Amino acid sequence: MFKALAAAIARLFKIGVSGLRWCENLVLSPFKAIFGGGGAMPNPEFTPTMTSTELLEEYDANRKAQATSQHSNRDSVECVVKYAGASPAARATTDLSAVPADARITLLTMDDLELKALANAGPAKVRKWLEGRNHGIFGVPTVTPVDTAKSATPVMPPRAVMTPQEQMIWRIQSQLGKPDHSKEFRLA
């Protein structure tokens, strides 16, 4: 009983929608005929500038470049996990040549807890860490690019007698100069 009623309502709804579409086409068809609405657009002209062999050569070159970058990423991820999971004595002998310079500096400044968290993370998170993206590993600092101009300027020591404004500026500059890439774990 309910199925028959539902089918009748569905049929009426379908007829109503098709009737509305018919009315819409009836009203809008003169405007479409006058203003050129409707109909397919002609295909744009295209003349290729590369031959098929050039296209295949470029494809092969891109594929080889991608394969080498994936291989170097894999090597650097393995190297970081090996370094982070090693004992402090074994870390001194670990070869970090596969790791990018920015990540190497961050890796060398990390403490044991941060290294342990990095070693326990998965390869995808370690890859994100190497690229300097948001990696989602709790307690591990992100890799920041080394700015040689910023690291070359020394922080000015405070003078013995300073006005309150100079003291405030010195405090702000000293807070900005602190490395924030490595923070200790605090127990609550």
Domain boundaries in the chain?
57-132
Rg (the chain; Cα; Å)? 33
50 phi, psi to nearest 5 deg: -115, 145
* pTM, 2 dp: 0.46
Q: What is the pLDDT of residue 119?
A: 93
Task: Give me the tens of pLDDT residue by residue for the chain, a chain 188 residues long.
Answer: 888 888 989 898 889 888 888 888 888 877 777 776 656 667 788 888 888 899 999 999 999 888 776 666 788 899 999 999 999 888 888 888 888 888 888 888 888 999 999 999 989 899 889 888 888 888 888 888 776 545 555 556 656 677 888 888 877 877 776 665 555 555 55
CB of 15 within 8 A of CB of 22? Answer: no
Look at the chain and count its residues: 188
pLDDT at 24: 85
Q: What is the dihedral of CA 169, 175, 177, 181, to 10 degrees?
A: -160
Confidence at residue 158, expressed as pLDDT on a 0 to 100 scale = 59
* Amino acid sitting at position 28: L
Q: Which helix (DSSP H) or strand (DSSP E) does residue 126 occupy?
A: helix 123-131
Question: Rounded to whole angstroms, how far apart are CA atoms 9 and 14?
Answer: 9
Helix (H, G, I), strand (E, B) or coil at 109: coil
**Inter-axis angle of helices 52-85 and 123-131, nearest 10:** 100
Residue 13 and residue 5: Cα distance in Å, rounded? 12
Burial class (CB in 10 A: 0-12, 13-18, 19+), 119: middle
